[in-house]
Chains A and B, each alone.
Chain A
Amino acid sequence: MTTTTEAPPAGQARFDELIAADSRIEPRDWMPDDYRRTLIRQMSQHAHSEIIGMQPEANWISRAPSLKRKAILMAKVQDEAGHGLYLYSATETLGITRDELTEQLLAGRAKYSSIFNYPTLSWADIGAIGWLVDGAAICNQVPLCRCSYAPYGRAMVRICKEESFHQRQGFEILLSLMHGTPEQQRMAQDAVDRWYWPSLMMFGPPDADSPNSARSMAWHIKRFSNDELRQRFVAMLVPQAEALGVTLPDPDLHWNEERQAYDLGPIDWSELQEVIAGRGPCNAQRMQRRREAHEEGRWVREAAAAYAAKRAHPETAEAVA
């Protein structure tokens, strides 16, 4: 890692000036160590989430109800891989290597979004993930397009464009089920019941318990608080749930005329803490699968490297063979 510990003359002043002007910080600009560390942590967690996020959906590729649905799901999972790669590249501009990032994930030292530690039990879960999980991700990610760290913002612009397909395809899956048999309708409702609360937790703890939020907002990494984004998300969901004909599983959810906002029932934060602590339904399985995939791909990486070396130095390679 190439971190600058001491500010060059005027480094901090220049940084503050750029942030105050709501301008962007580019990789080779001087930046405070904490700003760099915060971004490496946030961006790499984001990248790891995209990579791990391929697993719950890939679970249904072989069992998608039609060839078209299967092709769509494959395209979506491919997008998640792509998003992971955009974000890894953007993170590397902060001076950490790809191998270090991969190593942190495989060793279990890095976190990824807890939402991916829940199982996908039925086909309707693929719909609920697209509608709720990708919907929440979009709420989080759209403001990140204006993140002060330019490479992160640029990656997010590309990602957001692609995510909107994800959310719509999820909505469509649920809508088809809601227009189906009573059993299919129950399947859709059951998936919404299971994914609703975890998707609200994706915005992170309440503002009062989110000590780093204020600093990230001052640095223009974050633009809105966790609670603001959660609120915005629910306001978006309510009419969509009506259009689908599903019920959001919160009996206390209602419009508060005075606040001009929705009141939500209590969120069970102990559940999020449990999942973050590694005791969610699928934590072990997700990590095991990622490690296996990394090992199973080793020969491909080695073969590609050997082929590249052979093409670069044909004489030496021939002699070895």
Chain B
Amino acid sequence: MNAEPWPLWEVFVRASRGLSHVHVGSLHAPDEQLALRNARDLYTRRGEGVSIWVVRSDRITASDPDAKDAFFTSPEGKNFRHATYYTAAEGVKHL
């Protein structure tokens, strides 16, 4: 066993120019350089990406899944933020 386990890294891959980096999975590596190399070997064996980000998992701040309802209530009842709320323009072109 390793004396101290290698930290976990989250891997994000940009599939091609013009697209966002998307989370693809995670891996263990002792430092950011090896994390990047391992990510290349593990997640882009078939040309799946043109750019990779690695971020230490413990550096990510995430919302609490149990507090989901309280945390995300604000948009509820505000369907006027969606274009589909406005129906008066029906039949009128380019609106």
Contacts and interface: CB of A to CB of B under 8 A. Distances in A.
A308 B5 contact: no
B27 interface: yes
18 contacts: A78-B45, A82-B42, A85-B42, A89-B8, A90-B25, A92-B8, A97-B5, A99-B5, A154-B25, A301-B2, A304-B6, A304-B29, A304-B31, A305-B2, A305-B6, A305-B30, A307-B31, A311-B31
A162 B6 CA distance: 27
Given A78-B45, A307-B30, A86 B25 contact: yes
B3 interface: yes
Determine chain B's interface SS by DSSP, over half rule.
loop
Interface in B65-83: 65-66
Interface string A157-170: 01000100000000
B8 to A, nearest CB: 7
A26 B25 CA distance: 14
Contacts of B90: none
Contact of B31 (A79, A86, A99, A312): A312
Contacts of B30: 304-305, 307-308
Interface string B29-71: 1110010000001100110000000000000001011100000
B28 interface: yes
Interface string A70-96: 000001001100100110011010000
Contacts, number: 57
Contacts of A305: 2-4, 6, 30
A102 interface: yes
A155 B26 CA distance: 11
B65 A26 contact: yes
A304 to B, nearest CB: 5
Interface of A: 8, 26, 28-30, 75, 78-79, 82, 85-86, 89-90, 92, 97-99, 102-103, 154-155, 158, 162, 301-302, 304-305, 307-308, 311-312
Give the size category of B's interface with A: 20 to 34
Given A89-B26, A90-B25, A99-B5, 14 more contacts: A28-B62, A28-B65, A29-B65, A30-B66, A85-B27, A92-B26, A97-B5, A98-B5, A99-B1, A99-B2, A301-B6, A302-B2, A304-B30, A307-B31
Nearest to A10: B66
* 3 closest residue pairs by CB, A with B: A308-B30, A308-B31, A28-B65
A4 B49 CA distance: 38
Contacts of B64: 28
A29 B63 CA distance: 12
B66 A102 contact: no
Contacts of A85: 27, 42
Contacts of B26: 89, 92
Contacts of B27: 85, 89
Contacts of B6: 301, 304-305
